[in-house]
Chain A
């Protein structure tokens, strides 16, 4: 049996581009789990894959766009949300999801994130938060915890990190959740919920980068990091995202925001009908 034939026996294989495997991710990396939960959600929802688009930025997780078997765009660093906005607004029939990293979405792409959330563009954004820039060898980023070691914070990080769920909620997201890659079932359910909901939805996934961030901060092997997640994560649905902390002792996970608000597309449609009516009346 060829590798591809073997691959295609997997129940979720039809959502992946077999010819693109093996993937580039390190052993124990959380990105594979995120991808798995993502395609599991697609399968459970039986989405129309011909009308589904995945957009990624640049980074380890950014490669996910090249693995899913649907229309997909691997954009420039930081720009996936802006590009996804163009896709969604130009063809509202498409369902558009963005899979990208903490650096991509919140450092170089931070401005696009807050504005797409503010506009309430109908997008599902999933962030693999591994607390550093994995792809470029482990530099610090906007979510790197205080005192952590990275190649550009060799004496410990002195920058305060973003609390992504708080940021997303404040910017206007209609759905905000945080999970770790240990919570596979809940993460997949969360992705399903987000995909079914209209508006700007955000899911943060705490993901191990054992090879780089983990090693430098002495977090042990991937399995040790998973054990840590089990020990310190605390599920608190409906919790105030401003207080949903990530410390060495505690990671608050759960669904924090789930509200209804007209989307950009819906408001535009309303305006469109009004204008067309006016025009037809002369």
Chain B
């Protein structure tokens, strides 16, 4: 039973980071480990206050290497677990993000992105870690990443991150940005009954028959946690379905790593979520994610007012990349505009999928948001007007 303390049902004026923490608690998060960093610190601070109220566990670790390791441990001990950070900490987490991928550990990592590289611009929002979130740890693998565009979505999508992490047994990222993290907006928190919560799949066989890394049809193995009597061995080494290291057998590596990648590809239809606005007859499509989608929607409306058939595809799911949606869209429009707060990251994926359709990047870095008129101008240029 979810208590009233876990879900603060009602209307609130809330900061993005705080809404994220509340989303985690509503999703059933019972373990948070983190290390302070702007602009994500408020998530840790909120968790420090709130976890103890909801019978959860907050711990401030010595660094982000440890934070990531701790949430993996907590997840195997049976808790829904999360950490939150920004670029410099996200870089440190990459090592154990790889471990979470390899050991198929459900966990949520929030990255409130700020200007980078290195220490960069601590107080300025950015979207510069989009490719890092996909490829940041060594090796081939797949993860899930969602991009919120409002404080409401800091709440909603954090819940969704937990549900996806538990369903697909993978580290799942909330790719927020410093603007959204620090924004104050109205948030509506539903009643517990209205919130969909997913729990991880448990084994249905007895411990002697259980193979900890043998997947079901959906490519996801049921997960027995520590202390449940299943005697599970977990390793970051290449392992067979029993979980035992098999580091020199090409077939074992092939099977495991391909499954880790396939897991998201096969389930992409169920994972990917996009929003379409005014795309039915559009000639120019704006493809945006996160906070620039807000200015994009205004720009598209403005374009319509001035007679340009423009529309918006907003990516709620950034990874796995919504290939099908964009491939199909590209066949219907004459041009695509991609506004993003980096030097061009998702645009590369859009170009790859859009094939012949011209794709225009509208890059913005430094700590300023795209203005609707800038995006409108880009739409106009793309429309050849």
Chain A residues near B (Cβ < 8 Å): 17, 19-20, 50-51, 53, 55, 65-66, 69-76, 78-79, 82-91, 93-94, 111-112, 115, 268, 271-272, 275, 279
Instruction: Name B residues whose Cβ lies closer than 8 Å to a Cβ of A.
Output: 5, 30-31, 33, 52-53, 55, 57, 59, 61-63, 65-67, 69-79, 81, 95-96, 98-99, 103, 226-237, 244-245
A74 touches B236 (CB 8 A): yes
A82 to B61, CA, bound (A): 8
- Would you mind naming 25 contact pairs between A and B with Cβ atoms under 8 Å apart? A50-B228, A50-B231, A53-B226, A53-B227, A70-B231, A71-B226, A71-B232, A73-B235, A75-B72, A76-B95, A79-B96, A82-B61, A82-B65, A83-B73, A85-B59, A85-B61, A85-B70, A87-B77, A88-B73, A90-B75, A91-B77, A91-B79, A112-B65, A115-B66, A275-B52
Closest to B5 in A: A279
Is B53 a contact partner of A93 (Cβ separation < 8 A)?
Answer: no
Docked-complex contact A51 and B227, CB < 8 angstroms: yes
Q: In the bound complex, do residue A71 and residue B231 qualify as a contact, i.e. CB atoms below 8 Å apart?
A: yes
CB <8 Å contact, B227 and A83: no
- Shortest C-beta distance, B156 to chain A (Å), equals 25
| Residues of B with C-beta under 8 A to A86 | 31, 33, 69-75, 77, 81
Is the Cβ of A94 less than 8 Å from the Cβ of B236? Answer: no
Does A112 contact B62, Cβ atoms closer than 8 Å?
yes
Instruction: Collect the chain B residues with CB atoms within 8 Å of residue A71's CB.
Output: 76, 226-227, 230-233
A174 and B62 alpha carbons, distance in the complex (Å)? 20
Q: Per DSSP, are chain B's interface residues mostly helix, strand or loop, or mixed?
A: mixed
Asked whether B237 lies within 8 Å of A90 as measured between CB atoms, the reply is no
Could you say which residues of chain B place their CB within 8 Å of the CB of A268?
52, 57
Q: How far is the CA of A279 from the CA of B227 in the complex (A)?
A: 31
Per a CB cutoff under 8 Å, which of A74, A87, A275 touches B235?
Answer: A74
Across the interface, which residues of A come within 8 angstroms of B227, CB to CB?
50-51, 53, 71, 91, 93-94
Among the listed A20, A50, A66, A90, which residue makes an inter-chain contact with B229, where contact means beta carbons less than 8 Å apart? A50
- In the bound assembly, the distance between CA atoms of A51 and B225 in angstroms comes to 11
Distance of A31 from chain B, by nearest CB (Å): 16
The distance in angstroms between the C-alpha atoms of A78 and B96, with both chains bound, is 11
Pairwise interchain contact A69-B231, C-beta atoms closer than 8 A: yes
